[in-house]
Amino acid sequence: MEKHWIGGKYVRGAKGDLFTTVSPAHDTTIGNYALGSEQDVHTAVQSARTAFDSGPWPHMSGQERAQVLCATADLIHIHCEELARLETLESGKPITQAKAEMETAADLWRYAATLARHTVGEAYNSLGENKLGLVLREPAGVAGLITPWNFPLLIISQKLPFALAVGCTAVIKPSELTPGTTLKLAALAHEAGVPPGVINVVTGFGNPVGACIAEHEDIDVISFTGSTAVGRRVAAAAGRNLKRCSLELGGKNPHIIFADADLDAALDPVVFGVYFNMGECCNSGSRLLLQESIAEEFTARVLELARTVPVGDPLAEDTKVGAIINEPQLAKINEYVQSGKDLGARLRTGGRQIPTLNGRFFEPTVFDGVTPQMPIAKEEIFGPVLSILTFRTLDEAIQIANDTIYGLSAGLWTSNVDTAFEVSRRVRAGTIWINCFMEGHAELPFGGYRDSGLGRELGRFSTDEFTELKTVQLHIGEQRSSWL
């Protein structure tokens, strides 16, 4: 697939250059893609701009747009196996997980379709006998969508259908490591009835493609998912021409287990929460906070279960942890593991790359004896590394949970309803899970506090990112002026 998707068709890049994606698990070339340039971005933006300014999409009824979004969801479902295999090969995630993500993505498109018919404004008839006020919600225009490599189809499906639901058009830059499923999604949406120019995909690297999208004057809103460091640069670029910017960034999420919790119920979610998607997940429960009285017992159970997690070829149906995305990410994980050891944390299991002929695989890793100021307790590792800390009181647990620059999500386990709601209110994070972890629903907003980002995806509030409010005031009946 050596072309961009612009104006409803595959288009060669202006310079004709290509780059390749390589399987993290097999070290084989998966695809050749167009190496995007600033000219390619300009072409894509002009396509989206024309589709918004003079095309039919913004003027279609909500019912008509909803039908197209539902048809896209049906095609994602039909092509689930193909999409999942491509995503597994490019990202290294387990095939069973990838299949589940395709179905979740389809569900997001179906939910967004409901918002196409329920994105409404307000009317005010209390302004006076002869006055009426209307608040209209209109599409913001062209949306620039920049997505990461860890959940390629799922994350674009947290953005694109919601932008389309309200009548926006889009220019998309997928990660250069995993562009395949996004290109296929654009073609499927076109087949479902999305008009030419409404969806445009430019493949390539952050510089120049992502940077050009972020600062382009004809793009009205940016939605970015990725690291906090890059998110700051995207926000700065967007700020230079005051375009709206929503950011879903990093996390260092606490998973808090109180002594009165159902430990049997908590065990599997704790292990799942840190090793899911190889730990390459902004919601990873990479900080486990245990109340002191149950710390030794529960740590032993976590270690026992962690040592049984199947790591290996992501195409195998029984694999739970696949391959690390690339060498720089593997080096980052190794550096954090070494840091933990150097600073006195106890490495209880894992901590090494698994020797294989091909690919990059890392052992599920557990540290205990971790203190809150250690980098492995405060910084996002993005790998299968769990840091265990202990606390005595509820107040201490909350203090440790909040002692980070992030605020994306948190989980807690307790049988005390007062504890559950006090922690939920005091922990500064966008999502709180009580007696569960990393569950998601299309109806519920997702996003973070502080350095975890700005704005919210999913739920009915998600369309706020892609709409503008317009006030209309109407005078009814005879007009009398009293100024002069």
Active site residues: 248, 282
Per the omega criterion (within 30 degrees of 0), is the bond before 372 cis? no
Rounded CA-CA distance 253/250 in Å is 9
Residues 276/282/283/286 CA torsion (nearest 10 deg): 70
Which of 361, 474, 374 has its CA nearest to residue 128?
474
Secondary structure E strands in 278-368: 287-291, 346-349, 353-354, 361-362, 365-368
Rounded CA-CA distance 214/231 in Å is 10
Q: How many CB atoms lie within 10 A of CB 396?
A: 16
The burial class, CB within 10 Å (0-12 / 13-18 / 19+), for 460 is middle
Rounded CA-CA distance 78/21 in Å is 25
Phi and psi at residue 49, to the nearest 5°: -65, -45
> What is the dihedral sign for C-alpha 85, 87, 90, 93?
negative
Residue type, 76: I
Which residues make Cβ contacts (< 8 Å) with residue 172, sequence separation at least 6? Answer: 144, 145, 146, 147, 156, 160, 182, 186, 199, 200, 201, 202
Q: Do residues 252 and 378 make contact, with C-beta atoms less than 8 angstroms apart?
A: yes
> What is the dihedral sign for C-alpha 277, 282, 283, 284?
positive
Rounded CA-CA distance 235/247 in Å is 8
Helix residue ranges, H only, 60-125 = 62-78, 80-91, 95-116
Rounded CA-CA distance 174/146 in Å is 6
Q: Do residues 293 and 261 make contact, with C-beta atoms less than 8 angstroms apart?
A: no
Q: Dmax over Cα atoms in the chain, in whole Å? A: 88
**Per the structure block, which two tokens stand in for 381?**
């590792």
Q: Do residues 199 and 186 make contact, with C-beta atoms less than 8 angstroms apart?
A: yes
Q: What is the CA angle 207-210-216, rounded to 5?
A: 110
